[in-house]
Amino acid sequence: MANKSSWFLLTALLLGAAGVYGQLLNGGFEDPDIQQDNPYGDIAAHWGRWGNWMNRETAWEPTQSGTCLMGYHHWEIREDTSSGFYQDVTNVPAGSVCVFGLFAYKDPGTDAEFVELRLERLGGFHVLANRTYLMKELRASWQRLWIKATNETAGIRVLVNVKPKELWGRNGALKFDEAELTVLPPESSR
């Protein structure tokens, strides 16, 4: 009985901690960036992006939440370079177990190479863990993708990278929504 009580207490502490650390901002892509001089609203607030045709969309359906999502216009891509989006999260103690997940939806016929989820050191360019999903692993319905890593230094970057089909004649689109980061801090930080 004591063990059971301890387990409940530990779970409560972890769940509480998960709420305190590492919250992603605008994980559902509902808010546009209004800092930059961009009248289209295709940049999501609190998210960085690179490459072409990775846009916040307000009229694509279905969404997983709200009325907006991040849409990859694979059929529009004219080069073989990747596109993606990322967010730096500062309030994550070093040594935390971090789980980054988001929902993905593959339009029928989409023939991109892959979707890659990454956790990187805060500020990027040092990969802690990555996971690649091929198109055959994705469905024309919302499914949750995820990646887990322990950060070596404080903070973390969550990142989604999409590689288009290598050859000309690209089809389809990918939708992303409801990004979420769960952080379990090390016992020493408590």
In the complex, the residues that contact Ca ion under the rule CB under 5 A are: 28, 63, 65-66, 68, 177
40 CB-near residues (< 8 Å, 6+ apart):
55
Smallest gap from residue 47 Cβ to Ca ion (A): 12
Instruction: Report residue 37 as tokens.
Output: 């001089």
Smallest gap from residue 55 Cβ to Ca ion (A): 13
Query: Which residues, listed in sequence order, are joined to residue 131 by a DSSP beta bridge?
Result: 117
User: Which C-beta is closer to Ca ion: that of 63 or that of 182?
Assistant: 63
Helix, coil or strand: residue 117: strand
Helix, coil or strand: residue 9: helix
Smallest gap from residue 31 Cβ to Ca ion (A): 10
Rounded distance, CA 132 to CA 105, Å?
A: 15
Angle at 21 between CA 33 and CA 128, to 5 degrees: 85
User: Which C-beta is closer to Ca ion: that of 62 or that of 109?
Assistant: 62
User: Which C-beta is closer to Ca ion: that of 63 or that of 110?
Assistant: 63
Smallest gap from residue 59 Cβ to Ca ion (A): 12
Closest CA to 47 of 59, 36, 58: 36
User: Which C-beta is closer to Ca ion: that of 58 or that of 153?
Assistant: 58
User: Which C-beta is closer to Ca ion: that of 49 or that of 121?
Assistant: 49
Smallest gap from residue 178 Cβ to Ca ion (A): 6
